[in-house]
Homo-oligomer: A and B are copies of this chain.
Amino acid sequence: MAGNSFGQAFVVTSAGESHGPGNVVIIDGCPPGIPLSVEDLQRDLNRRRPGQSRIVTQRREPDEPEILSGVFEGETTGTSIAILVRNRDQRSRDYADIRDKYRPGHADQSYDAKYGRRDYRGGGRASARETVSRVAAGVVAKKLIHAAFGGQVVGYVVAVGDVQASVDPTQVKAEAVEAFGPDEPNPVRCPDHDVARAMIERIEEVRKDRDSIGGMAEVVARSIPAGLGEPVFDKLKADLGKALFSLPAVVGVEYGSGFAAARMRGSQHNDLFVPSEGGPVTSTNRHGGMLGGISTGMPIVLRAAVKPTSSLPREQATVDRRGVATTIATKGRHDPCLLPRFVPMAEAMVAIVLADHWLRWRGQRGPVIPRTP
């Protein structure tokens, strides 16, 4: 029961289904005085929006947010902020077939087991449509951490299937993620542009095969003060891990050296501290910006593995609600690869965790003393 809130101090509460009237998010605990407009929200909502390019789902949603509360004269008031995004292009008829059949890889069977019923239209609450609320809340979080300490969160795609990019998280620029050049958007959101073009090809190839493909995204948070994270359970790595795992289709999360560390020796893995003007830094960053679950002031670097879209426009064997064997071919409109639209969702969740921990830190420790290099 009651799993639709996230955070302790910057609390995000979410409601809404894929084909109901809309999605709404309440953000509680945001400090007063943060400028917030519909345009701010729209920018990231557009990055998550279906129909934004030919390599994503063709569902057409304008995703226009309405701020219902918590903002007055252009700034947050400190009271709870509610944002509503109505659903427009629902085409419920596309989904009539899945009412009684369990789509492989989807949450149809598990929702039925959990609740004894489900809103089957477009996946209902299990649809990734709910992430529109996360992205809206993430905009507020990003503005807060930027205002508070210059914090910056950038996500990007590092792998589509076996097409792998090479990106330096300390240098990557948001512009390179979003565009190949002034007038040429980068639909796959990989800042390694040659590889990006190969990724796009791979996605189109997969779509023509009526198939889908997985991938990997990386998120870097820079200019994050040392000292964020609450041992022993709400370590920063634990809350960031939860945040990313709570996103649809995420099946693995690592930070810093991640799974590669399992093969390493301590003498290879330890980052050595070296003196620096703003306080100690490390010469390398295999620890991904967190030690003991607390930020060190070095860039925080996380990666998430995203499984291939489960909805496939081809016939697959399955069972129906009564447990009888049948087949299903998902119609609807789906992403052949989730990664391009995953980037703003992952950024949002990372920003929300950082905003939350920043407020928690400030509650316990008081006035802001940025320690970041």
The interface-forming segment of A42-50, A181-189, A290-298 is A290-298
The smallest beta-carbon distance between A68 and chain B, in angstroms, is 5
The interface residues of chain B lying within 8 Å CB-to-CB of A20 are 68-69
Please, which residues of chain B bring their CB within 8 A of the CB of A84?
24, 68, 84
Beyond A14-B80, A245-B242, A295-B110, whether A319 also contacts B274 by CB under 8 A is yes
Please determine whether B371 and A102 come into contact, CB atoms closer than 8 angstroms.
Answer: no
Residues 310-342 of chain A, each 1 if its beta carbon lies under 8 Å from chain B, else 0: 111010111100011100000000000000000
Bound-state Cα–Cα, A250 to B266, Å: 14
Known: A5-B5, A361-B114, A367-B367. A79 touches B231 (CB 8 A): yes
Indicate which residue in B110, B256, B369 contacts A296 across the interface (CB closer than 8 Å). Answer: B110
Q: Within 8 Å of chain B (Cβ to Cβ): is A155?
A: no
- Are B80 and A15 closer than 8 Å at their CB atoms? yes
Question: Which one of A171-179, A190-198, A210-218 is at the interface?
Answer: A210-218
Interface residues in A282-308 (C-beta closer than 8 Å to B): 282, 287-288, 290-297, 305-308
- Kindly state whether residue A225 has any CB partner on chain B within 8 Å: yes
Cβ–Cβ < 8 Å partners of A295 in chain B? 110, 113
Residues in chain B near residue A126, CB distance under 8 A: 231, 292
Per a CB cutoff under 8 Å, which of B67, B262, B366 touches A362? B366
Residue count of chain A within 8 Å CB distance of chain B: 175
A77 near B115: Cβ-Cβ < 8 Å? yes
**Chain B residues positioned under 8 Å from A148 (CB to CB):** 368, 370
Tell me if A4 is interfacial: C-beta within 8 Å of chain B: yes
B interface footprint on A258-269 (CB within 8 Å = 1, 0 otherwise): 110111111111
Most chain B CB inside 10 Å of its own CB: which residue of A13, A278, A361: A13
Q: Does A75 contact B (CB under 8 A)?
A: yes
Known contacts A2-B29, A17-B79, A79-B115, then 19 further A-B pairs from the complex at CB < 8 Å, ordered by chain A residue: A1-B359, A3-B232, A15-B79, A17-B70, A23-B68, A78-B115, A113-B225, A150-B370, A159-B262, A211-B267, A216-B259, A235-B245, A241-B253, A251-B258, A262-B307, A272-B317, A277-B373, A360-B363, A367-B367
Sorted nearest first, the 6 A-B pairs with minimum C-beta distance are: A107-B292, A3-B230, A278-B373, A363-B363, A366-B366, A3-B234
